Amino acid sequence: MNDFISLTLQAAGVVLAADFTAGLVHWIEDAYIRDDTPWLGRWIGRPNMVHHHLPRRMTRNTWWESNMELLMAMGALVIGAALLGCLTWHVWLFALVGGNANEVHKWSHRTRRENGRVISWLQDVRILQTPQHHAVHHTNPKEVNYCPVTNALNPVLDALHFWEGLEWLLAHTVGLKRQPDSSVPGQGIPPAWIAEMRRAG
């Protein structure tokens, strides 16, 4: 029984670690990367801006389109762990959850009919993040609920003003300031290509 409890707690810890890591990446994208950001703008900034302006558009993506970058990163993690001789089930679980974080994110934007019974049930019992929980992230000014996998971490991190504190630290140490989000009223005019995407449907 003690072994079962220990394994359960370890697994929960790994899932939360993957959720936090995905949230950290999500926060970096939202706070600092835009379509004109050198090197990363076209690859990361543009799709992220599209998502804030047109949240449901990501539901059209295939599994590979949704998770390609994360899967490559998790593949590198697994290979690195194998080379170092520390490829445990913890690493595999972290890679599984982390590599599919955007898929879980996508599910929070789909309807129950689109998700089907199994995914909807996992959301209902709070194993996966619920659409209602994630919807808070898309409420202006879109500066909370960055972790996309579970409902567990966001209330804690937001109550601690964790992301706000990181932004303050970066602004006062290296001069890195949060970039305006044109999907939020009063933070700039959306680029012309966003308007074209809206018209295209």
Three-state DSSP at 30 gives helix
150: Cβ–Cβ under 8 A, 6 or more apart, which residues? 15, 16, 19, 126, 127, 128, 129
Domain count, the chain: 1
Q: pLDDT of the chain along its 201 residues, tens only?
A: 788 999 999 999 999 999 999 999 999 999 999 999 999 999 999 999 999 999 999 999 999 999 999 999 999 999 999 999 999 999 999 999 999 999 999 999 999 999 999 999 999 999 999 999 999 999 999 999 999 999 999 999 999 999 999 999 999 999 999 999 999 999 999 999 998 988 887
Q: Which residue range is the domain that position 54 belongs to?
A: 2-200
